[in-house]
Structure 1
Amino acid sequence: MELASTIRHDGDGGVLDDLATVEGAARWIRRQSGLLSPLAPAGKHDVGELVVDEELRDTVIGVRRAVRALFARVVSPAPPSPADAHRLMPAEEALTLLNAAAAREPVAPQLLWPAEGLPAAGLLSAEGDPRVRLVAALARDAVDFLSGPQRERLRACHAPRCVRYFIRSHGRQEWCKPSCGNRARVARHYGRTRDAATGEGPAPR
């Protein structure tokens, strides 16, 4: 969800892309502290030992395109997010890209069980390149999400100016957040008022 949400509305009718530049991609990757450990700045566009450059930015954007294409498949037959509805990657291509990205890192499951805590599962990586680990981790998270129970609650928000996907928290939720709901209700009221004023309302039965 974090990766898909790097495409977002600016609140004024436009669309922002957090990965539009190398600098923006580096800032976003720094915030994903759970993907690589440690994941901390080590230079202008470094994240720990990971150097964020144009090649890595393009690769992450490719994974995002695949994720958003598959999100569109999940919400169908409802419309996808309007941000990229006109240029979605074909679903089969998205599947191939996502699975290939996840397979780039050889990992083995590990049982982690501290003396004063509960057991948990972890992954032991045989990959030395943190760039590969980052991309593979993003793809694995997407695979987990799309094959898990939260997939059934995925929706695209169609409030005016919104381009987000969101996880529905209750059965009647239509919008990603209350402010989007407010805009949608205002837009509906304006539309009904305009139709009434121009006589363009629904035809009588």
Structure 2
Amino acid sequence: MERWLALELASTIRHDGDGGVADDLTTVQETTRWIQEHRDLLAGHVPAGGLTADEPLRLEIIELRQAVRALFARAVSPAPPSPADAHRLMNADQATARLNVAAAREPVTPQLDWPAEGAPTTQLLSAENDPSVRLVATLARAAIDFLTGPQRLDLRSCTAPRCVRYFVKSHGRQEWCKPSCGNRARAARHYSRHRTAADGSALS
């Protein structure tokens, strides 16, 4: 399954398995862990040995996540957005501006890489020495690439009870981000139908 850095960032807000919402970026330690866990998607943009977050970097990433989730909500409209933060989303213009400012903080130059055996690719040569700035700019560019790419058309907000994730639909009738959410949604529908039928019998 293809992974998108922007979607991974948005998914740091998730269902906690107990009816609530968890945030994977609540502390500096958790933020550092998230960065380490996504080394493959960040390769070439952060130091090979990883990056240890501090509080200013954590807050920058959270601010960027707010912008990404606001624009994801716009992308899935008129369907409802994720309920995790639907009540406090920034407006789309503000989110777009925040994304663009973050992306512009790292001056990059595209470089052609064409090995003797293989296809040509583009590498970005950075003029920024601060790895924290590079990380935030990389996350912003990833969100811009996602939102301007074809996958935006297949972005959905999971409709399963208590789920707060966004996902990219991989087949025509997909309603949920993962099978466990589908099971939970079907169980909820089954319960609702039986309860409605029971209430109707009690009234007759």
User: TM (normalized to structure 2)?
Assistant: 0.91
Q: Distance in 2 between matches of 1:31 and 1:110?
A: 27
1:23 aligns with 2:24: no
Alignment match, 1:2: 8
Alignment match, 2:101: 100
Q: Distance in 2 between matches of 1:39 and 1:183?
A: 41
1:35 aligns with 2:42: yes
SS of the counterpart of 2:11?
helix
SS of the counterpart of 2:42?
coil
Alignment match, 2:19: 13
Kindly provide the CA deviation profile for residues 82-104 of structure 1, in whole angstroms up to 9, marking residues without a partner as x.
11111111111000000000000
Alignment match, 1:158: 159
1:162-177 superposed matches below 5 A: 162-177=163-178
Q: Is 2:105–2:133's contact at 8 Å kept on the other side of the alignment?
A: yes
Alignment match, 1:83: 84
1:120-139 superposed matches below 5 A: 120-139=121-140
Q: Which structure ranks higher in relative contact order (CA pairs < 8 Å, sequence separation ≥ 6)? A: 2
Identify which range, 124-133 or 112-121, moves more after superposition.
112-121
SS of the counterpart of 1:123?
strand
Q: Distance in 1 between matches of 2:169 and 2:139?
A: 22
Displacement of 1:36 after TM fit?
4.5
Q: Distance in 1 between matches of 2:112 and 2:132?
A: 25
**Which amino acid counterpart does residue 115 of structure 2 have in structure 1?**
P
**Which amino acid counterpart does residue 161 of structure 1 have in structure 2?**
R
User: TM (normalized to structure 1)?
Assistant: 0.90
Displacement of 1:32 after TM fit?
2.1
Alignment match, 1:198: 199
The answer to which structure has the higher helix fraction is 2
Q: Is 1:101–1:139's contact at 8 Å kept on the other side of the alignment?
A: yes
Displacement of 1:116 after TM fit?
2.7
Q: Is 1:36–1:133's contact at 8 Å kept on the other side of the alignment?
A: no
Displacement of 1:115 after TM fit?
2.6
Instruction: Report the number of matched residues.
Output: 193
Q: Distance in 2 between matches of 1:171 and 1:51?
A: 41
1:63 aligns with 2:69: no
Displacement of 1:40 after TM fit?
4.8
Displacement of 1:134 after TM fit?
0.4
Q: Is 1:101–1:135's contact at 8 Å kept on the other side of the alignment?
A: yes
Alignment match, 1:44: none
**Which amino acid counterpart does residue 139 of structure 2 have in structure 1?**
L
Percent same amino acid at aligned positions? 69
**Which amino acid counterpart does residue 18 of structure 2 have in structure 1?**
D
Displacement of 1:39 after TM fit?
3.8
Q: Distance in 1 between matches of 2:91 and 2:53?
A: 28
Displacement of 1:28 after TM fit?
0.4
Displacement of 1:52 after TM fit?
1.0
Root-mean-square deviation over aligned CA pairs = 1.4
1:54 aligns with 2:55: yes
